[in-house]
Amino acid sequence: MARIGQTEAKQRIDFLKQELERHNRNYYVLNAPTISDFEFDLLMAELQELERRFPQFATEDSPTRHVGSDLAAGKGSEFAQVAHRWPMLSLGNTYAREELYDFDQRIRKAVSAPYSFSCELKFDGTAICLTYRDGRLLRALTRGDGTKGDDVTRNVVNIPAIPRLLHGTDIPAEFEIRGEIYMPYEAFDRLNAERAAAELEPFANPRNAASGSLKLQDPEEMRTRGLDCVLYHVLGEDLPFKTHLEALEAASRWGLPVSAYSRRAESIDEAVAYIDAWDTRRKTLPFATDGIVIKVNELDLQRQLGFTAKSPRWATAWKFKPEQALTPLLSVDYQVGRTGAVTPVANLEPVQLSGTVVKRASLHNKDQMDLLDIHIGDYVYVEKGGEIIPKITGVELSKRPAGAPRPDFPVRCPDCGTPLVRDEDEARHYCPNRESCPVQIKGRFVHFAGRKAMDILAGDATIEALYNKGYIHTLPDLYALTRDQLISLDGWQEKSADNFLASLEASRNVPFERVLYALGIRHIGEQTAKMLARHFGSIDALAAASRDELLQIEDIGDTVADSILAYFASEPGRETVRRLREAGLQMAVDAGARQQLSDTLAGKTVVISGNFSISREAMKALVEAHGGKNTGSVSGSTSYLLAGEKAGPEKLRKAEKLGIPVLSETQFNQLIGKE
């Protein structure tokens, strides 16, 4: 660090404190970080060094002396805040290998007894603290500010991996166990696909999605989010364990989800070898990891080493640097979605990143473009959020070409030319010409025909052809199509037409919740449609609902309520519902169809992986019809892994390790009594 005077140091320290507190709030409270972990850690390291050099400016409220807080001001009425029995601290971390050896040397100087390390994957989730009394789950708290956390027990009990009741004979009368709530990639992809379908802002990464889900106001919504849990630290009075790994082995026997990837290391060299092995292997995991945690294994030495104000002295975290690529920005396209939202997409010179070639990356909205100060021809840094979604994280200004132009965000719809509008409370611009904008019309048909909606045999090309012929303009037009019209399409034969008409006929039996989703009402995704269908029971009851009635439903806010009201207040919306009803679509919940077939799977949790003779959605429906619960990942509380063709190898390995029965489709059908 360069020489700096006291005045400059004081100014820089004050600036860094404000910046780090702002980024802590973005990360922990809003679940919308604007910088990467690596950039945050660089700012924190700079503040730590300045406070070391100028201790007169170090204060007790500095971010270097307390953990980031997920307690949101003004939200006390939503979740009760409860004091932690033992503080929940954060880990010190490093990106430098020599600092791992410094960590080892500090331990050697502080203790005289021999010691080993526990090496563990650092799951990228949100911290949780569970208390069990007499083998039953008593309470679940978030990290909060380290001294108190939000009581999220009502939500946590809906995560299948977390048992309410433990089993075993050696369970302490009361103890705490801490860990991470996380979202596997599969569940993350599914959630973001649903948000994209509703044209909501996607979650940036699985960590943000997990943290946001944990604070949902509707506990039942938790069941649909596919969250998982891993636990890694046992606390209590007079626990009968000598080592950290011994305590985790006992927790696993009791039915608690602990990591299958933890290993004992006899030296820091073995711990470093563990890090090196996982730097590559982590990219094959079905969940996000952002580092490796190294802990002194012996519990008496942990107590001897103690804590700083913010971190334990007996543990540290090695952070993986995000894989990043630098590539030129060639151009920006502006895509119009089915609800009119305009999304800027960067076209990049192809670059290899995390095993795939990246050519395009979403810029999300105009605000994000302005924040990046992006110009055509810039060299931009690209990362994969959660190793999945390509995102532009910055611009290399030193490589900016002379005279590089800013991309012009359109003021008119790129498809129909209508002036764009922007709601005050939304970051996106959108085209208001819902009824005549061709790309919106075709997008609504593609959405309506989708597998999770009406499941009609009509993809992009078919919708394009039908629209260009003038055969369809509004959704009910599909049900007026004739065999002769279909055969007139290029490449269509009688068999193709018959298959299409058969899928149209079958769609008349699609349940109401999917019909509601298929309508494409702005901000109504798959899960929201299910919730509304359950609550109101029919399209007529929903259409008659007042704004106050809508807002009384958990997780329905002003934006969603106004969107529903606007749809049913519009003549096109009412006419669409009227004509679809006349076409025979289901406009109310069929109580008979929802009757449970049996309780064979009551209390059982099933994970489905692979391909089957029926769709995965149909297989999940069978599980629920026989009293079971579906979840996305294998854990200690999983009852069965239902494995079809090409089942995930990671799920199979974990099921074998945990002793969870693996059923074929035939065995599953025998279990539920299905021929």
C-alpha 127/C-alpha 118 separation (Å) is 19
Q: For domain 440-582, give the CATH number.
A: 1.10.150.20
Give 666: exposed, middle or buried? Use CB within 10 Å, 0-12, 13-18, 19+.
exposed
Roughly what angle, to the nearest 10 degrees, separates helices 268-281 and 97-110? 150
Q: How far is CA 584 from CA 448, 581, 587, in A?
A: 15, 5, 9
* Residue 397 in tokens: 């200004």
- Judge whether 525 and 560 are in contact, CB under 8 Å: no
Average pLDDT (88-112) is 90
* Res. 475: pLDDT tops 80: yes
Give 318: exposed, middle or buried? Use CB within 10 Å, 0-12, 13-18, 19+.
buried
C-alpha 342/C-alpha 199 separation (Å) is 10
Average pLDDT, the chain: 86
- Maximum pairwise Cα distance, the chain: 88
Average pLDDT (645-673) is 85
Read off the pLDDT band of 347 (50, 70, 90): very high
> Tokens 């400016």 map to which residue?
57
Global pTM value: 0.55
Q: Decide which of 534 and 403 is more confident.
A: 403
C-alpha 112/C-alpha 298 separation (Å) is 13
C-alpha 307/C-alpha 50 separation (Å) is 22
Its CATH architecture, for the domain 324-402, is Beta Barrel (2.40)
**Res 76: pLDDT:** 39
C-alpha 547/C-alpha 562 separation (Å) is 7
C-alpha 617/C-alpha 638 separation (Å) is 19
Give 52: exposed, middle or buried? Use CB within 10 Å, 0-12, 13-18, 19+.
exposed
Q: Which of 17, 75, 109, 122 is catalytic?
A: 122
CATH class of 81-319: alpha beta
pLDDT in tens, 603-619: 788 888 888 877 676 78
C-alpha 660/C-alpha 662 separation (Å) is 6
Q: Decide which of 290 and 587 is more confident.
A: 587
E strand residue ranges, 397-447: 421-422, 429-430
Average pLDDT (363-387) is 84
**Rounded to 5 degrees, what are φ and ψ at 77?**
-75, -15
Spatial strand order in the sheet of 136-142:
136-142, 126-133, 174-182, 228-235
C-alpha 570/C-alpha 566 separation (Å) is 6
**Res 655: pLDDT:** 86
* Res. 337: pLDDT tops 70: yes
Domain ranges in the chain are: 6-65, 81-319, 324-402, 440-582, 596-671
Fold for domain 596-671? Rossmann fold (3.40.50)
**Res 296: pLDDT:** 97
Fold for domain 6-65? Helix Hairpins (1.10.287)
**Res 78: pLDDT:** 65
* Residue 48 in tokens: 């730590």
Beta 605-609 vs 629-631: how paired, if at all?
Answer: parallel
- Identify the weakest region by mean pLDDT among 297-311, 475-489, 504-518, 544-558: 544-558
* Residue 3 in tokens: 């020489």
C-alpha 675/C-alpha 424 separation (Å) is 56
**Res 645: pLDDT:** 84
**Res 77: pLDDT:** 43
* Res. 90: pLDDT tops 70: yes
pLDDT in tens, 22-66: 777 666 655 566 666 667 777 877 888 888 888 888 887 777 766
The DSSP output letter for 25 is I
C-alpha 603/C-alpha 216 separation (Å) is 24
Specify whether 283 is catalytic: no
C-alpha 243/C-alpha 187 separation (Å) is 34
* Res. 175: pLDDT tops 60: yes
- Judge whether 320 and 94 are in contact, CB under 8 Å: no
**Res 15: pLDDT:** 83
**Res 353: pLDDT:** 77
